[in-house]
Amino acid sequence: MSRFFTAFVALVVSAMPALAEGLPLKVVVAGETRVVSMEELESIGVSGFRTTTTWTDGAQEFTGVLLSDIATANSVSTGTVIVKAINDYQAEIELAEIMSAPVLLATRMNGERMSVRDKGPYWVVYPRDDHPEFADERHNFKWVWQVDSLEFK
Sign of CA dihedral 4, 8, 9, 11: positive
SS3 state at 112: strand
Stretch touching other proteins by CB under 8 A, among 27-35, 62-70, 76-84, 134-142: 134-142
Stretch touching other proteins by CB under 8 A, among 33-41, 43-51, 97-105, 135-143: 135-143
Query: Should residue 56 be labelled a site residue for other proteins when binding is judged by CB under 8 A?
Result: yes
Answer for which of 140, 142, 151, 153 binds other proteins (CB under 8 A) is 140
Residue 82 burial (10 A CB sphere; 0-12, 13-18, 19+) = middle
CB of 54 to other proteins, least distance (A): 5
Query: Should residue 61 be labelled a site residue for other proteins when binding is judged by CB under 8 A?
Result: no
Cα–Cα distance between 114 and 6 in angstroms, integer? Answer: 16
Answer for which of 81, 119, 125, 152 binds other proteins (CB under 8 A) is 119
Q: Of the two residues 87 and 110, which places its CB atom closer to other proteins in the complex?
A: 87
Answer for which of 87, 92, 96, 130 binds other proteins (CB under 8 A) is 87
In degrees rounded to 5, what are phi and psi of residue 121?
Answer: -80, -20
3-state SS, 65-97, equals EEHHHHHHHCCCCCCEEEEEECCCCEEEEEHHH
Q: Which residues bind other proteins (CB under 8 A)?
A: 53-57, 86-87, 115-119, 136-138, 140-141, 145-146
